[in-house]
Amino acid sequence: MILVFGKTGQVAQELARTLEGKEAQFLGRDAADLTDPAACAARIAALKPALVINAAAYTAVDRAEEDAATAQAVNGDAPAAMAQACAALDIPFIHISTDYVFDGAGTAPFKPADPTGPLGVYGATKRAGEEAILASGARAVILRTSWVVSSHGANFVKTMLRLSETRDTLTVVADQIGGPTSAKAIAQACVTIGQALVDGQKAGTAQKGGLYHFSGAPDVSWAGFAREIFAQAGRAVEVTDIPTSAYPTPAKRPANSRLDCSSLAADFGIDRPDWRADLTDILMELGAK
């Protein structure tokens, strides 16, 4: 049985689709409150699944600046407790992290082993979770990703479509660069990684673990991403490039969110997905294409 923390988030919903027909249990807030790390660990100990995937997180980047305690509990303490429980029972563990653990300096893609430097509370708490998992002794894969989009929840694609209903011109940040990543692709990557971890466990080998990066290709600015959304959706919206400084937010965003995903391809055979093709699928599902 696969145990997934998370139920309503973008990746959790796509995991439910990807794992349809397989034995999997999804724990929402009602069944596993991530502000109570001990309760999360207790669920793992009670259920003894073959694999644990943590697809839940505190993702309100700006709100985290004023709610650091909750963000730390959900993003740092709960994953730590999950990893410790998995280590005790030798259960493989997959945890989804973020490009926000980096400071966004330079233009080169960040490699998994590069020094981190979070710019805000969200990134700092996610990094705390990573460090705790790596120290737990669990056979764990931490999958850092970026710019997650899908037909579910709140995300950039849905925001752009909503704004295009009433506006024919938009200003969008053009000096932040990264790889849009569909929740569906992340879910599929998690399942592939999970199978490799479980197969390694059955074979009695120390199957691959550690830090990996996964994001869509090619890298693009938010403004460029917006233009592709409107082009595919057939929306006549003019996008004007603006610098980050013209759109201030409580939490600072990394300017460079490029991720080097080569080790994931080498170790698990998972290549960067073309976000433009995934965008087509999302728009079709939303009835916007």
Active-site residue numbers? 122
Nearest to 18 by CA among 29, 4, 31: 4
- Write the CB contacts of 51 (distance below 8 Å, at least 6 apart in sequence): 2, 3, 91, 92, 93, 94, 194, 197, 198
Mark out the alpha helices in the chain (DSSP H runs).
Answer: 10-18, 37-47, 68-72, 78-89, 121-136, 156-164, 183-202, 222-233, 262-268, 275-286
Nearest to 207 by CA among 288, 268, 143: 268
- From the number of C-beta atoms within 10 Å of its C-beta (0-12, 13-18, 19+), residue 245 rates as exposed
DSSP state of 244: G
Spatial separation of the C-alpha atoms in residues 271 and 262, rounded to whole Å: 8
Contact in structure between 93 and 52 (CB atoms under 8 Å): yes
Spatial separation of the C-alpha atoms in residues 117 and 32, rounded to whole Å: 30
Question: Given its phi and psi angles, is residue 86 left (phi above 0), alpha (psi -120 to 50 degrees) or beta?
Answer: alpha
Whole-number Cα distances in Å, 119 to 105, 128, 174, 215, 255: 11, 13, 19, 20, 11
